[in-house]
Chain A
Amino acid sequence: KNQVEQSPQSLIILEGKNCTLQCNYTVSPFSNLRWYKQDTGRGPVSLTIMTFSENTKSNRRYTATLDADTKQSSLHITASQLSDSASYICVVSDRGSTLGRLYFGRGTQLTVWP
């Protein structure tokens, strides 16, 4: 069964600290994996995409990794800010340029305290 599991379910950190969010998936065949950020009361916004051949990708203070062999991805947030408080959702696609099936994780709710 194709699934996407995220951990932890929720996380509280102090401003300025780093954190790492995990995403494990069983989706096959794998096409790509996206991390989305969803602020409270808003729709998700794409942060980064990881394809099969990519191991690491950075976008400002966000660094995503992908291990296609173990089917794991992580999102590392450096020097957290209050505005990082949001739900981070991992989405895995099982196909490429055609409209493939998307599998959503339940998200990790990150809270950054001052």
Chain B
Amino acid sequence: EADIYQTPRYLVIGTGKKITLECSQTMGHDKMYWYQQDPGMELHLIHYSYGVNSTEKGDLSSESTVSRIRTEHFPLTLESARPSHTSQYLCASSQGTAFGEKLFFGSGTQLSVL
């Protein structure tokens, strides 16, 4: 069982609201990620971090922002939510191995913007 936690699990909000999705891990991993997943579709990387004070945009253009002030915490913020932001958001951290990174995922936040 991975020690990575996301809150809230479900969120329904109105258009224009500011929201923050929380993600915390207790495994001491330096690398953390945010993925967006729609039903039946592949995961898309929207942000990642190599460590404290390091953040990068991923492959999928996103209007969200992230911060990494502490190793264990990697929150994602949407300043003004829109219906197009409705999706599942998965946070992950990774452990480097000789064969590449092994991802540990949280349970996700299902966001619905009305």
A residues neighboring B (CB under 8 Å): 4, 9, 31-32, 34, 36, 41-46, 49, 51, 89, 91, 93, 95-97, 99-100, 102, 104-107, 109
Contact = CB atoms under 8 A, between A and B. Distances in A.
B106 A97 contact: no
Given A31-B99, A93-B100, 16 more contacts: A9-B40, A31-B100, A41-B108, A43-B90, A43-B91, A44-B43, A46-B103, A49-B97, A49-B99, A89-B42, A97-B98, A97-B99, A99-B101, A102-B103, A105-B42, A109-B40
Interface in B83-106: 90-92, 96-106
B103 A106 contact: no
B47 interface: no
15 contacts: A31-B99, A32-B99, A34-B102, A41-B108, A43-B107, A46-B102, A49-B97, A93-B100, A96-B100, A97-B99, A102-B103, A104-B42, A105-B42, A106-B40, A109-B40
Contact of B101 (A42, A93, A106): A93
A42 B107 CA distance: 4
A109 B44 CA distance: 18
Contacts of B97: 49, 97
Chain B interface SS verdict (over half): strand
B103 A44 contact: yes
A77 B41 CA distance: 23
Contacts of A46: 102-104
A97 B45 CA distance: 19
Contact of A97 (B42, B90, B96): B96
A57 to B, nearest CB: 11
